[in-house]
A and B are shown apart, each in its own frame.
Chain A
């Protein structure tokens, strides 16, 4: 079994994996970072979104070995100590989550969205979140949260 090494949330991580091990399995099972979730098996739901080398990636759609040498950020790596990332804070402030299962992927996608478009319109936010399914919130408060998060990230 190959050994993969990468930087996850600022720390070096390495583990032996089968060739077929997905990045999400590596994060959850080898590193115990269970904040990244698996909600489907067709790369549709986005619960597993993490940042790989600064870009949002569905970690169920990438092999762990493909991420060898990469810099990965998961939901666990966003907050600065007790201080939430502005996007996390915006989700909390705007009730942008209910059961919390889609939330990590939603927040990671939202941050990437805002990085590429610092002042997104509502339409752009809705379009940008198309790859993340939430069954609880009806998206209303998620859209509000992303908008607020975008403003906060500028500040």
Chain B
């Protein structure tokens, strides 16, 4: 193995993007101002469910600065499409209700768009909106996930009987029933995976612009995937052909999934910019973001695990209700199905699995992918269930995991729920994490804490996930309405510097650095000579964007393919210059050589020759040195690992403090370990947030969002989380050229059950066996007060 260069693959290179962010020179959507720009305010529904009887705009239209006010009556374009179609057990397609950017006759959640007010200033638009007189006829609302499909509940859509969007299943029901029939013990669990709000720190924003001279529209938007927005908005909503529509996603301040989807505001601003013939800017206030950004999770599940007398897993059956919200967001239908139930084998050899998933509509904000998307829900279910099984079987919780792990020599491993894992080594990540967390010394620490009157607990989660999604043909057969390849271009300039164009998008992940490392290492050129361009449909040939931890595994693989083409062509040029046979030309460390001779040509000379082709094989080869490649993945990638959390609970207050958190993750080949560790830190913090702090709550009667600001929705802060012990242990992905698996989501996937299992371990001396997320001080204190075993008096 060659040594890692200071900027090569495997080096902790400091980020190229940091200088501009640290000096206030980032360029986020709200920082963009266009000549003649006006501002939009969106009047949103104050009711969870109501008929719009009348809208009186007369006073508002006369307000200072108002240019126009548009309502559903004015909107003559298409609805926002769902990008994935699920079929129910009976073969019928999911119910796909219309999703218009402006409501016409009915509002279906608090925050639904009612009117678009455009004025010279934002304050004027907002002031005018207060003068819009909407007469609503209120209707009863349903917000409960568990109750939505019960008879007699308020109906969100007439077509969706009992609010059912689809009733889907996967796995072999008969084989699973047979497994349960021979079980020595069955462990059962009921779980809620609560609704979360992704809360990227940059609120969504958009600037829509129309150029009357060319007929071209430009949309600047806070998006993780500008080409997908162009495709969805252009082809399905506004019917603008791609060559007349440019979508730019500049610097984006975090996404975590919530900026994947095509949102109403994007279509409205683009549409309205032609109507008023001025650029229009809209920026969400945080309160508005709570009412309009797609939310995450929101599952209610029952699961049963069948075991033999030794704790070997025989079968698993799961039934889940997943809340879609009031409409179907772009990727919502695939989250609780192909990104969730296909993960239910986890890292275990469970031979028979059957899962049923009902998706329901409610009068709430839409739910879609949020960091992990389905996989945190599956992991939480499995890892809570396995811990409970160990308790019931009176087995050690680590031993029951080891006993059921997929053996390291069993890959490729076919699960009973569609996926085929290519690689993994769950024993090593477990052993490393236990060592790093000093698992063996825990009982000493528990005893020491007890002396101080504190309850100390340790929890574990061994998990895997499926990301880098996925082969286009496979996802197509499962209902995806798009391909999931990625595109990359390498433009070698005449003097040998390189511009990289990628269809992925960086909104914190540091692609400008990681991709520069990959390209500089592969082409043997200094990292300063490489720049990465993303986020503009007019600059990049195509792209599917960033989500599902796919940027390196899929987008990086596209760049590798493009560089392969560059090197192939460059070798032919070098062969000509060195008067050698192409077959004899070798390329290493930025230099072309001829085997067995001292002839050599540097990369820069080949680049210059390609653009100044005086001495060039011009009859055989075109001038220039630029290549584009599309890479369609051959499989999902399967990162996995072990997370261990240690907590201390103050029984007087119920406050849980996370004392330590150890993660050992297998993310395949690592290009930049500094960035990889940062991704894990962030993901774990969101997982701790889910486990202990965050909860999106709607009032059951009124459907009002009760947690609509940072005063009510508890975001993790610096003093809520510990220093992390993060490590990696790589088994290579076997089916992409990099061996990389993806790291964006592992932290959020593996961590919540580790935290809750630690809380339950701390409470175990009291006989507490269940607690729901988030395990707030109130809930923990109540659990202690109502525990079967009382705390011993001090």
Q: How far is the CB of A23 from chain B (nearest CB, A)?
A: 15
Contact A95 B718 (CB under 8 A): no
- A41 CA / B201 CA spacing, docked (Å): 12
B26: which of A33, A35, A95, A143 is its contact (CB, 8 Å)? A35
Contact A135 B25 (CB under 8 A): no
CB neighbours (8 Å) of B674 from chain A are: 95
CB neighbours (8 Å) of A126 from chain B are: 718-719
- A106 CA / B721 CA spacing, docked (Å): 17
CB neighbors of A among B175-219 (8 A): 199-203
Contact A141 B686 (CB under 8 A): no
Contact B723 A143 (CB under 8 A): yes
CB of B285 closer than 8 Å to a CB of A: yes
Main secondary structure of the interface of A (DSSP, over half): loop
With A88-B23, A95-B675, A101-B254 as known contacts, state yes or no: A138 contacts B18, CB within 8 Å: no
Contact B681 A137 (CB under 8 A): yes
With A125-B718, A137-B681 as known contacts, state yes or no: A93 contacts B508, CB within 8 Å: no
Contact B202 A78 (CB under 8 A): no
CB neighbours (8 Å) of A125 from chain B are: 718
CB neighbours (8 Å) of B683 from chain A are: 138
B15: which of A74, A95, A130 is its contact (CB, 8 Å)? A95
With A33-B24, A129-B718, A134-B201 as known contacts, state yes or no: A97 contacts B681, CB within 8 Å: no
- A100 CA / B26 CA spacing, docked (Å): 8
Contact A20 B709 (CB under 8 A): no
Contact A141 B678 (CB under 8 A): yes
Contact B724 A140 (CB under 8 A): yes
A84: which of B22, B28, B30, B253 is its contact (CB, 8 Å)? B22
Known: A76-B23, A100-B21, A138-B682. 16 other contacts (CB 8 A): A34-B28, A37-B28, A39-B201, A40-B710, A41-B287, A45-B201, A45-B286, A75-B22, A76-B25, A92-B15, A95-B14, A99-B201, A100-B508, A129-B718, A130-B718, A136-B254
Q: Which residue of B lies closest to A29 (CB)?
A: B33
In this complex, how many residues of chain A approach chain B with their Cβ under 8 Å: the count is 55
CB neighbors of B among A8-48 (8 A): 18, 20, 28, 33-42, 44-45, 47
Cross-chain pairs A/B with CB under 8 angstroms, 23 sampled:
A35-B23, A37-B28, A39-B203, A41-B709, A42-B287, A44-B710, A47-B201, A76-B25, A78-B23, A79-B23, A98-B254, A98-B682, A99-B200, A99-B251, A101-B200, A101-B201, A107-B22, A133-B201, A135-B200, A135-B682, A136-B678, A139-B716, A139-B717
CB neighbors of B among A39-97 (8 A): 39-42, 44-45, 47, 74-76, 78-79, 84, 88, 91-93, 95, 97
- A123 CA / B719 CA spacing, docked (Å): 7
CB neighbors of A among B535-581 (8 A): none
**Most chain A C-beta atoms within 10 Å of own C-beta, residue among B22, B203, B286, B724:** B22
Q: How far is the CB of B225 from chain A (nearest CB, A)?
A: 16
- A88 CA / B26 CA spacing, docked (Å): 14
Q: How far is the CB of A81 from chain B (nearest CB, A)?
A: 11
Q: How far is the CB of A47 from chain B (nearest CB, A)?
A: 6
B709: which of A44, A107, A136, A137 is its contact (CB, 8 Å)? A44
- CB-CB contacts of B109-137 with A at 8 A, as 1s and 0s? 00000000000000100000000000000
Contact A127 B721 (CB under 8 A): no
CB neighbors of A among B709-728 (8 A): 709-711, 715-719, 721, 723-724
